[in-house]
Structures are given as structure tokens and as C-alpha cells.
Chains A and B, each alone.
Chain A
Amino acid sequence: MKRLTDVLFDALLPLLAASLALLVGAVFLMVMRVNPLTAYAALVEGAFGTPNAVAETLVKATPLLLVGLGICIAFQANVINIGGEGQMIVGAILGTLVGLTFTDWPGWVVIPLAMLTGFVGGALWGGIPGVLKAYFNVNEILSTVMMNAIAVQIMNYLLRGPMIDPVQKAMASEIPQTAALEMAFRLPRWVPTRLHLGTLLAVVLAVVVHVFLWHTVWGYRIRAVGKNPDASRYAGIPVKRYTVLALLLSGAFAGLAGVVQVYGVNYRMITDGSASGFTGNAGFNGIVAALFGGLHPLGTVPASVLFGALLVGANKMQRAVQVPSALVIALNGLVVVFVVSSEYWRRRRQRRRMALQREAEAPRPVQETAAASSASGGQD
């Protein structure tokens, strides 16, 4: 069906857009009297230069991918989940509690149990806005953002109070963090790097989400509800339930991202009092990664790696050429703007392609369309 050139066009377009963004970024760098080539070389070097750099990139990409998978599900149901941060936090809290409670249980029981608990916790945090949206028509963008604020305050209370590390309490230094997890509960690593099993899990889940959305009844219904709720209702699909399910699953993947961050990277829950102190903004950057990946679970895999690379490489660039970190954030922003705008061109090209195809293969219906549209639109 699709010609090779079209496939290439679709695949290369985001990369082209990203390159254009870096070109604009180069202007910024030159204004700051920095050689953009040196800067970008440092960026690439920092992200992919050594095995350890690649590992760090993947470590950064993992929570983005997990959150992004949830975002893909939500977008298919035409709901927007801005609550990834809060869902990560709630998932992490519950997952950490499991690890800190059942200290003498074996790791192969505790780790899956913690992940499941975090999954459910995130689902709860995403499901509440889902119910509010489906049954009370509350805008999910607002409610998910508000749920973030609630989650942060719960986290701060717990990490400074009931869940605080006994060591911190004893030293009276009061850093908001929990005790460390048992050695047996830590996800296996590819030593000497920090690359952990969670990354592999996320990639496997990307395939699972793909299968879920396009090969199961639930996935079909989520997509149907997102595309046309009227027709879905008419076809007998309980629309509200699937709106809730989409936000619930979306939150669940973010919750899982929180658990993976604890069990794979930090081995304890730690914050600086803000959401990003724990999440590193993965709850928001995951949305961007999903958009970059075309809101497709498999596309989100490379997109997350690219954003992971930008985050890791930017650190190196910052050190190498002495630019403020704000510039790095601006650079990320540029990439997002360019990539999201490029979607417009892809759509336009696709439309033209389909129109050509239809004329070539089915010339007669075109006339019918004209008659039908004028008959319904042109008369009273």
C-alpha cells in the first residue's frame, strides 16, 4: 500500500524537525559567543560517547517511556493526562511502602508486588480525574494538574514525617527521604553502569501497549470512544467506562514509572520538596516523548531515547562550553515545538496521498461525494 518514499518521509520528518530546532538553537549559542559545533559535539558525546553515557541516556529514557505509554493510551481516548507527575509520586509511595514493609520477603516476590502496587496507585490517581471527567464533565487537564499538587503535598508530608529515614531522624538533618531498600529488592544492573532491568521492562511494555490498543477489544473501544463517542454509544459501547479506563491505565503506567525509578535508580524515595525533586520532570517530559513518538507506543521508544539523550547530553554540553542550564531547557523546548508542528506537514501529505489513491482506484465515488455533500448542505 504505502510506497517506500512515504514510509521514509514519515520516519525522517521528526528527525528533520529536530535538526531544524538545533539549527535555531545554534543561533542562540552563537549569540552567547559559543561555537555551536563544539557545543553540539559535547552534547552528542555526553549522550552516546561512552558505554556509560549510553547507559545514562537509557536510564533517563526509561521513566519517559513508561509515562509516554500511558499518554498514548489517554490520547487514543481523546483525553489529555497532565497528571503524570502526581501519578508517578503516588505509585512510588505505595511501591516504596511495600519494599519497606516486607523486608524479610524474597526479592522475586517483593519487586513484582511493589510494581503492581505502584501500578494500582497510579491507576487510582489517574482514575479519579477519569471518573470526574466521564460522570461530572470535569475538565481532565485541570483535574490531573490539581491531583499533581495534592500528590506532592502527600509526598512531602510522608517523607518528612511518617516515612522519613530513621537515620535522618537520628541525625536531625531532616532530608526528606525514606530509608534505603534492601539489597535484594534492587533491580539488577548492568555493572558498572546504572542501566537496570526497568529499561527492558519498559520496552517490553511498549509492545504490550501496542498489542493492547490495536489487537484487543478494550483497545478498539478506547480508540472508538476517543474518535467518536456518539457512534460508540450507538454501537453499544459504554463510553464513560472506557474514558475512565483510559485515564486509569494512563495513570497506572506513570505509577509504574515511579516504582521503577525507586527500585532501579535511587533505591529510596527522595525529594527536595517539589514534584520534580523526585520525578525529574519525567511526568511532563513523558508527554513530550509520546507526542514526539507520534502518540504511538512503538514510536515512543526511540522518542524517549532521543529525549533521554538530550537531557544527559545537555549536562555535558553545559559543563563543556559553560552555557546556563536555562539554554538547555530552551533547546528542549525548541525541539518540541518543531516536532509537534511537523505533524501538520505529515498530515497534509497523507491527505494528498489518499486523495490521489482514491482517484486512481475508485474514480466514481468522487462524484457521489460531491452530490451528497451539496444535497445535504445546499438545500434546506
Chain B
Amino acid sequence: MNSVPSAPLATASTRPRIQHVEMRGIVKRFPGVLANDHVDFDVQAGEIHALLGENGAGKTTLMKILYGMYQPDEGEIRINGRPVRIASPRDAIALGIGMVHQHFMLVETLTVAENVALGLPSSRGLLTDLDVVARRLRELGERYGLVVDPHAYIWQLSVGQQQRVEILKALYRGADVLILDEPTAVLTPQEVEELFAVMRQMAREGHGLVFISHKLHEVLAISDRITVLRDGRKIGTRPARETTKEELARWMVGREVRFHLEKEPARPGPVLLELEDVHAESDRGTPALQGVSLQVRAGEILGLAGVSGNGQRELAQVVAGLRPVTRGRVRLLDQDVTEASPAARMDLGLAYIPEERMKDGLIQEFTVAENLILRDHHKPPFSRKGFLHWPTVYAHSRRLIQAFRIKTPSVKTPARYLSGGNLQKIVLARELAREPKVILAAQPTRGLDIGATEYVRERLLEQRTRGAAVLLISEDLDEILVLSDRIAVIYEGRIMAVMPREEATVERLGLLMAGVEEKEKG
């Protein structure tokens, strides 16, 4: 044991501070996806460098490579000009790189000090040195304005406070460069301000910060430099002072529409789904929907565009009947269903393709056949007088398996053995086979390959032509533009605008998605 009182000082003293981290020509492939395509990125001591891009642009992948969680297929990383290999987060920490993940890595039943000490050697050998850790945490807290009681239990802390603990943890481990992965996504506006103050203080103290975000105004407010990624490629880097919201929005979303589908002109009928001034809260009790009004007509697809976390999830749940509204009305086929159960809405003709199909749409341990009757198992012909009639269920399942080209060894195969694309086909088959009048499709092609994506989109168009009202919630702008007849944009729980497809351009949508109000209304 050396005489240094705690680990972070030891590591900080044995290696030079990071002045410059450089990533050059980083390529990362996942099966079927090119997540990073020859990306260059660098961050210097004392600067806040924002990494901006849509969902799936490759931001997190790039930073997970820097933090040693993924290995790049090509490219190199240099620290202070010297090439380094970062094989694991342990290596990254030893080099002085820390990361605060979107989902916190904290043990709820331990205290702040215990969480920080977890996995570090104690200065007292086999005995704990929590008092030393706590003292050092208070020092760090005062220096950076990160005040947290070291002896509080994690479960007692708010989300914002837990995030401070994560930052403290990284600082305690001697991080010179800190990666913050969408740190503002879970915070209230006041907490965001506090976080920004901490970030500025850290930059003043000579830390380099990487700020991952997809919110334009935040990025412009806090960053020194901004790099935009799109589809795994770097579009450009600009000092924050020399760029505008418009330019960044164009960089983020400006691209060719990749898919073309044959589409007949819409013949909209009567309004089948209507939301009127709907308010609802998120799981954490913060306002998630703040006065949403929308109308979806028979025979049309209304696309709801927006960056994730702006209330789409809550909106879908409100329509499906899984989340109560705090104000406003929901109408389905002229009936007020604001208070109606999910089952009652289903019986009126609502189909729901949930965002998290693995969690909400399917029962993994159930067989394919059992999953295909999840919605209608209690109705004839699948059951009579409370008894299930398996021959009918199996015959029905075989029909759907064929019609929707679900690849499965048999109707009795547990769903969890099927691929993601086939699982989505099960959900689709079940929901669409009921000939629904209103379809709520949330992220229906997320995670699917091109073939399955096209298949799902064709089925949705088919339903529209058949006369169903489709509310399509998607974070994929291509999808919105290809499928929709009208497009609405949601931002922080409010509808920014609703426009016919013809009037929508990627630039216009991009600005609205980033929360930039349009000057002339109507």
C-alpha cells in the first residue's frame, strides 16, 4: 500500500492529464447495420463538444467505443497524440475517460459513498474506507457544485440527484474526459440548468466533455463545438457560435428518402379517432402531454413525427387506454372512450401495434398460436362458454402464419425462439386480422431489416386503402414521409403543427422536431 489516501489521486498523479482525445476513421459494423462509417471525432481539455444526431445516427455507438464497451472494426484512438487501445471500460477509466449512461448504473439499496467505492480498492486493504470516500466526495461536490449527501441511499434520491452521483463517480475515478449520454432526457428544465452549470464548471476546471443530445437548443446553449452524425456518418463539425438551428436541423435530417412505395391518393372519410386537448403525465409524474389535439380520418395515415421522449409513448398509451388522461377527451368512432378500458376500445375496433413489442405485444413463453389469439382468446370461435377450442385456434394460426409469412417451425413453438421480424409479424397478423377500424402503430418497423420493414409498411398502406384510420407514431422521418397522408409534429408534449404530406419538407419537419416554432401560423 502506498501512502496516497485514495485511489483517484493515485491514478491522477501517475499519468498526465488528458489534453486531447482523438478518434480517427472509426468504423463499427453490426450485422446488417453500419453503425459508424469512418467517423472522426475529437475533444480537448476545457471544452464541451456536443454530438448531435437523430435516434440511430450512431452517437452512442461511437462513444461506447471510446469508453471501451465496443471494439471498432477500423480506426484508431489517440490520447495526447499517442495511439491507445481501449479494450474495456476498465481501460478507459484508467486512461481518464468516464461515461454517464442514459440508464444509471447504481445500486439502489446502497448509499452514495458505497456506490462510488464499489469496485475500487480500499485504502485500508480489507477494511472499508467509506469515511475517506465520503470526505473526498464532499470536496469534489463543493468544487463542482455537485452537492449530494454521501450517506443518502440511492433510492431516496431524485433522478437528477442520481445523475450527479454518476458524474461524481466518474470524477472520483479520475475522469479527465467525461461522456454524458443524453443527460437531459430524464431531467426537468430546472435540473437541466443545474446540470449545465456543473458542466461549465467542469470545463473551467480543465475537463473535456462530450455531450450527446438530439435537442438543438440545448446543444447550442451549452456547447463550444458541435459535431453532427447522420446514418453513422459524420456530416460536419462547427463551433457553436458559427452555426444556426437551421443549419444543424438540415444536417441532422437532410437526406434522400430511401423507400418508395406505390400509393394511391387518400380518400379520407369521417373522423374515427379524435384527441381533444389531452393532458397526461409520464411515469415520473411530470407532464408528458400538454394539450394534444389530433384527428385521424378513415382511409388516411396521420404520421406523428418527433424526436423520442417528447410524449409519443404516453400518447400511444393514452389512445390504447393504458394511461389515464389528466385532462381532455379521447373519442373513438364518435364514442367518448376517455374512461374506457383497453378491452372496450379493442372491441370498438382499435388495433394497437405497441412500441415495445417484446414487452407489451407478446408473451415470449407462449406459443405462436397462443400469442396470435392474445386479443380474442375469450371470444368465439376460439372459445365457447369459457373453454378454448384448440383445433380452431391452430387452424386460424396456420392461416395467419401463411398469410403474413411468419417463419416458425410450428404453431406450438414458443414465441421467444423466433426472430424480431417474425415476432413483429405475429403482432401485425393478430392486430390486422381483426379488420380494425382504427390502427395505432408505434414504431412499427424499429429494429427490423429492410425486407421486414417494407412488408410492414405495405400492410399498413393496405389497411389505409381498406378504409382504416391509421395513426403512425415514428421517429424515423423516412417512414413518416413515405407513409403519411398528413403529418403532425410533436415536441415536449405539444403538437407543433399538422400539415398535408405535400407541404412537408425534411427541413421544415426537422426544425419543428427540434422545437423551433414557425413564424407565420396557418
Q: A-side interface residues toward B, CB under 8 Å?
A: 1, 214-218, 220-221, 223-224, 227-228, 230-238, 354-355, 357-358, 361-362, 364-376, 378-380
CA distance A22 to B378 in the complex (A): 47
| Total A-B residue contacts, Cβ distance less than 8 Å | 152
How many interface residues does B have (CB within 8 Å)? 62
A-B contact list, 20 entries, CB within 8 Å: A216-B387, A217-B377, A217-B383, A217-B388, A230-B359, A230-B360, A235-B374, A236-B342, A367-B31, A368-B420, A368-B421, A368-B422, A371-B420, A373-B447, A374-B30, A375-B56, A375-B446, A378-B28, A378-B30, A380-B182
Contact assessment for B363 and A362 in the assembled complex, using a CB-CB cutoff below 8 Å:
no
Known: A236-B375, A362-B407, A378-B28; 13 extra A-B contacts, CB below 8 A, are: A216-B383, A216-B388, A217-B388, A227-B366, A231-B362, A235-B375, A368-B420, A371-B32, A376-B420, A379-B56, A379-B58, A380-B56, A380-B212
B449: Cβ under 8 A from any A Cβ: yes
> What residues on B are CB-neighbors of A374 within 8 Å?
30-33, 35
> What residues on B are CB-neighbors of A354 within 8 Å?
413-414, 417
Q: B447 → chain A, closest Cβ, in Å?
A: 4
Contact assessment for A379 and B33 in the assembled complex, using a CB-CB cutoff below 8 Å:
yes
Q: B-side interface residues toward A, CB under 8 Å?
A: 28, 30-33, 35, 53, 55-61, 70, 181-182, 212, 320, 322, 341-343, 346, 352, 354, 359-366, 370, 374-375, 377-378, 383, 386-388, 390, 407-410, 412-414, 417-422, 446-449, 452
CA distance A297 to B52 in the complex (A): 56
A361 and B359 in contact, given A236-B343, A367-B32, A379-B33 (Cβ under 8 angstroms): no
Closest residue of chain A to B361 (Cβ to Cβ) is: A231
A220 and B370 in contact, given A378-B35, A380-B56 (Cβ under 8 angstroms): yes
Closest residue of chain A to B413 (Cβ to Cβ) is: A354
Q: B128 → chain A, closest Cβ, in Å?
A: 30
Contact assessment for A234 and B58 in the assembled complex, using a CB-CB cutoff below 8 Å:
no
> What residues on A are CB-neighbors of B383 within 8 Å?
216-217
Complex A-B, nearest 3 residue pairs according to Cβ-Cβ distance, in ascending order: A372-B420, A236-B343, A380-B60
Q: A335 → chain B, closest Cβ, in Å?
A: 27
> What residues on A are CB-neighbors of B322 within 8 Å?
233-234
CA distance A232 to B374 in the complex (A): 8
Closest residue of chain A to B51 (Cβ to Cβ) is: A380
Closest residue of chain B to A223 (Cβ to Cβ) is: B366
> What residues on B are CB-neighbors of A214 within 8 Å?
388
Say which residue of A223, A230, A372, A380 sits within 8 Å of B59 (CB atoms).
A380
> What residues on B are CB-neighbors of A230 within 8 Å?
359-360
Contact assessment for B341 and A236 in the assembled complex, using a CB-CB cutoff below 8 Å:
yes
> What residues on A are CB-neighbors of B61 within 8 Å?
378-380
A373 and B420 in contact, given A236-B375, A357-B409 (Cβ under 8 angstroms): yes
Contact assessment for A231 and B448 in the assembled complex, using a CB-CB cutoff below 8 Å:
no
> What residues on B are CB-neighbors of A355 within 8 Å?
417
CA distance A375 to B383 in the complex (A): 39
> What residues on B are CB-neighbors of A358 within 8 Å?
409, 417
Closest residue of chain A to B58 (Cβ to Cβ) is: A379
> What residues on A are CB-neighbors of B449 within 8 Å?
367-368, 371-372
Q: B376 → chain A, closest Cβ, in Å?
A: 9
> What residues on A are CB-neighbors of B375 within 8 Å?
235-236
CA distance A237 to B61 in the complex (A): 39
Q: A217 → chain B, closest Cβ, in Å?
A: 5
CA distance A362 to B414 in the complex (A): 14
> What residues on A are CB-neighbors of B28 within 8 Å?
378
CA distance A365 to B361 in the complex (A): 19
Say which residue of B30, B70, B212, B341 sits within 8 Å of A375 (CB atoms).
B30
Closest residue of chain B to A378 (Cβ to Cβ) is: B30
Say which residue of A215, A224, A368, A371 sits within 8 Å of B374 (CB atoms).
A224
Contact assessment for A362 and B408 in the assembled complex, using a CB-CB cutoff below 8 Å:
yes
Q: B199 → chain A, closest Cβ, in Å?
A: 19
Q: A366 → chain B, closest Cβ, in Å?
A: 7
A233 and B31 in contact, given A227-B363, A365-B421, A376-B446 (Cβ under 8 angstroms): no
Q: A240 → chain B, closest Cβ, in Å?
A: 12
Contact assessment for B407 and A364 in the assembled complex, using a CB-CB cutoff below 8 Å:
yes
> What residues on A are CB-neighbors of B366 within 8 Å?
223-224, 227
> What residues on A are CB-neighbors of B352 within 8 Å?
234
> What residues on A are CB-neighbors of B70 within 8 Å?
378
A365 and B363 in contact, given A374-B32, A380-B56 (Cβ under 8 angstroms): no
Contact assessment for B35 and A227 in the assembled complex, using a CB-CB cutoff below 8 Å:
no
CA distance A178 to B79 in the complex (A): 85
Contact assessment for B409 and A372 in the assembled complex, using a CB-CB cutoff below 8 Å:
no
Contact assessment for B388 and A215 in the assembled complex, using a CB-CB cutoff below 8 Å:
yes
Contact assessment for A372 and B361 in the assembled complex, using a CB-CB cutoff below 8 Å:
no
Give the residue among A218, A358, A376, A379 with the most B Cβ atoms within 10 A.
A379
CA distance A375 to B59 in the complex (A): 13
